[in-house]
Amino acid sequence: MAKKTAQSRKRGKPATRKKATRTASSKKRAPVAAKKPAAKRTPVRTAPKKAAVKKKAVVRVGARNTKKVLAKAAAPKPRKKAAVKSKSGPRAVNTLKGISDIRRFFHRNEVPLYFISATNFNLLGADEWIKGFKFITYIDCFDGLHPNLMSPKTEEPHEEFQSIEDINNYLLTHSEVRDFIESRRMNSKSAGKALFLMFDEKTEELAKKAGLEVIFPPAKLRSWLDNKVNTNRVAEKAGVPCVPYVLSPVKHYEHLLAVVQKGKLGTDLVVQTPYGDSGHTTFFINSAADYDKYAKEIEAEKECKIMKRINCRGAAMEACVTRHGTIVAPLMTELVGFKELTPYKGGWCGNEIFADTFTPEIRAKARRYAKKFGDQLLKEGYKGYFELDYLIDKDSGEIYLGELNPRVTGASSITNHAVFALSDAPLHLFHTLEWMNEPYELNVNALNRRWAKDENIDSWGQMVIKYTTDDVQRVTEAPRSGIWRMREDGSIYFWRMDTHRRYVEKDNEAFFLRITRPGDWFYEGADMGILVMRGRMMTDDFELTERAKKWLAAIRTQFKSVAPGAHGSNGHEHLLEIGGFKMM
């Protein structure tokens, strides 16, 4: 299911750089030599030995020979590799050849790069791959201890946040953020490049004003692709199968039944509105009573996606559209709708990655479909990172496209820290490379074959933990971000601070990224944090393992909260900030 991130309260969801100038050798043509009169033949004298000089070529009489010699003399001499002007100064045009060159290029990068979002969860560890990469976030999950994270220390006046886009727009106008970006400016024309989880046209304008190039396709295109109705249209062009469906407006329940009767979908249905977060805009309808619960949202849309309901498992696959083809990461399972993790039916709440996900046939189909879909995205004008949600029919074994997320996602942290990514390069690096104005060569087919091998896929799982109770509480204590350890009795303790999960080594260790801080508010659907562990979190029957349940219970005990108004605070000013949108 969709994972634009995990739903939250007040937080949350890229302007093109000028092309490099032409090489010096192509700026002007070499001047054409003027014809000279043919030289008369004269005796050749021998110069004295002490004043020896090189002989000049003697031109024979004859127009044809004269032209040849003059043309040869006028031809430009061979030049050294031409220099191309860039915003960081002149540089030689060198084509990056393969993974090693690409990795070195980013380790020597001089262009300021930023990921700007509510948290840095989606691209954890990117700063270790790219020199000069910084996170700018609304929430500091690391209490000032992350070496490459900047978060404003003061709150400036703003409207109530309704989306991640609102948060990013706030950050781009915050005085501390503006000063920070300005202090790292490259030159008068450019302050660097920026990635966002979510952004809109206002974000693009603010980024341009700050001197930042947004390194994602335009917001208008992303929004069009993000429309679940349009996703199916793109899938049809690409030849990627979808769950049997029809696209139609819905006026009332009887109209819905008439529409699905034509499509032979039955009466057990799933209706999705064009935009929305996982679990918020996916409606399961099998009766008039079911329909009445969601009638207002469904009837407000010009067009909905109406699908036959199938008995399925969720899966996810991330990929990247490049100039050399679509790079495809391994298939992941999805944690969906667990009541211990989310209050939303059908809501995404985590992922697993391991070598034998589903069957070899399903994994092969998923890779093939992702490549076909990515190639079609390129035709639609899109390049860079994307994720596909798949639905795997438990009865027939068929795999269908669920939806598209044209961005980095909540699964990106799992993808970019797996063995295949550490051995070559993370997927986000290939995305960024597409905007670095650098020629490169890459054998995408060889890379995809390598990433599909079992030995290049290790086993990890992550749970996105939400507050599931229908009440409001003020948080007084919250666990720190870093690596935690579990004792034999099931209790846990904080071992040490770390910025991602790479250094989790044993089954009794886990990395926790805290989202809700002391002073924040719990409400139904609020993101508490993300727990990442080695190994699986679900059984083969897609139930939480006992180990996962123990860790979940233990981390929840680390949070303490009180009812509004306790300890002399009515919480009114904070309650104004509560929202229900995805933040990760």
With cut-offs at 50, 70 and 90, classify the pLDDT of residue 380.
very high
> For residue 275, what pLDDT is reported?
87
Q: pLDDT > 90: what percent of the chain?
A: 78
pLDDT digits (tens, 9 = 90+) for 410-465: 999 999 999 999 999 999 999 999 999 999 999 999 999 999 999 999 999 999 99
Residue 516 CA to residue 555 CA, distance in Å, equals 13
Q: What is the DSSP letter of 161?
A: P
With cut-offs at 50, 70 and 90, classify the pLDDT of residue 572.
very low
Residue 116 CA to residue 434 CA, distance in Å, equals 19
> For residue 584, what pLDDT is reported?
59
pLDDT digits (tens, 9 = 90+) for 512-560: 999 999 999 999 999 999 999 999 999 999 999 999 999 999 999 999 9
pLDDT greater than 70 at residue 86: no
* Mean pLDDT (the chain, rounded): 86
> For residue 209, what pLDDT is reported?
97
Q: What average pLDDT does range 38-50 have in this prediction? A: 45
Output phi, psi for 307, to 5 deg.
-120, 155
> For residue 276, what pLDDT is reported?
73
> For residue 266, what pLDDT is reported?
93
With cut-offs at 50, 70 and 90, classify the pLDDT of residue 580.
low
Residue 282 CA to residue 278 CA, distance in Å, equals 7
pLDDT greater than 50 at residue 81: no
pLDDT greater than 70 at residue 335: yes
pLDDT digits (tens, 9 = 90+) for 227-262: 999 999 999 999 999 999 999 999 999 999 999 998
Residue 248 CA to residue 298 CA, distance in Å, equals 11
Parse the chain into domains and list their residue ranges.
91-220, 244-309, 460-582
> For residue 23, what pLDDT is reported?
38
Q: Alpha helices, DSSP H only, in 504-564? A: 546-556
The three-state secondary structure class of 8 is: strand
pLDDT digits (tens, 9 = 90+) for 464-514: 999 999 999 999 999 999 999 999 999 999 999 999 998 999 999 999 999
> For residue 554, what pLDDT is reported?
98
Q: What average pLDDT does range 193-206 have in this prediction? A: 98
> For residue 273, what pLDDT is reported?
93
348: its two tokens: 């995404």
pLDDT greater than 90 at residue 388: yes
Residue 549 CA to residue 330 CA, distance in Å, equals 26
> For residue 70, what pLDDT is reported?
43
CB neighbour list of residue 423: distance below 8 Å, 6 or more residues apart: 456
Q: What average pLDDT does range 69-78 have in this prediction? A: 47
- To the question of pTM greater than 0.85 for the whole model, the response is no
Run of H or E including 262: helix 253-263
The distance from CA 475 to its chain's CA centroid, rounded to whole angstroms, is 31
**Among residues 452, 459, 454, which one has the least CA distance to residue 370?**
452
Residue 91 CA to residue 413 CA, distance in Å, equals 34
Residue 258 CA to residue 267 CA, distance in Å, equals 10
pLDDT digits (tens, 9 = 90+) for 254-304: 999 999 998 899 999 999 999 876 567 889 999 999 999 999 999 999 999
The answer as to CATH 3.30.1490.20 being correct for domain 244-309 is yes
**Among residues 169, 222, 393, 421, which one has the least CA distance to residue 318?**
421
pLDDT greater than 80 at residue 220: yes
> For residue 14, what pLDDT is reported?
39
